[in-house]
Amino acid sequence: MGKPNLKLADETPPRTPEREQLAEAINRLAMAERTLAANKAAQEATRKTRWQAQDAVEASATLIEEAQANAARFLTEQALGTAAEAPVSIKAVRVAAQDAQDT
C-alpha cells in the first residue's frame, strides 16, 4: 500500500521562485495599501486644518472692521468725555489676523 496523498496541516509547501515572487508582490501590495491609507488620513487632516485656518482668516477680517468702527466710536466718545474702557486696538486685531493668515 502506498502513501496516501494527504498533506499534513503543519506542512508548508516548498518555496519555489514563483511563490517567492508572489510573497514579495503580496508584501508590496500590503505596503502600498498602508501608504495609501496614511496618505488619505494626512490629506483629510490637512483639509480640516486648511478649512479652520480659512475660517479664522475670514473672522479676522470681520474683527478688523469692528475694531475700526469701535476705535472711531471711542475717539468720538473720548472727545465728548463719555468714553468708557478703550476697545481692542486695531493693531492687536491686525496682528491676530496676520497670525491667522500665517497659519
pLDDT digits 0-9 by tens, 18-47: 999 999 999 999 999 999 999 999 999 999
**CA–CA separation, 89 and 67 (whole Å):** 7
Residue with cell 509547501: 13
Residue 87 φ/ψ region, left for φ over 0, alpha for ψ in the -120 to 50 degree band, beta for the rest:
beta
pLDDT band for position 89 (50/70/90)?
confident
Maximal CA-CA distance, the chain:
118
pLDDT digits 0-9 by tens, 42-63: 999 999 999 998 998 888 888 8
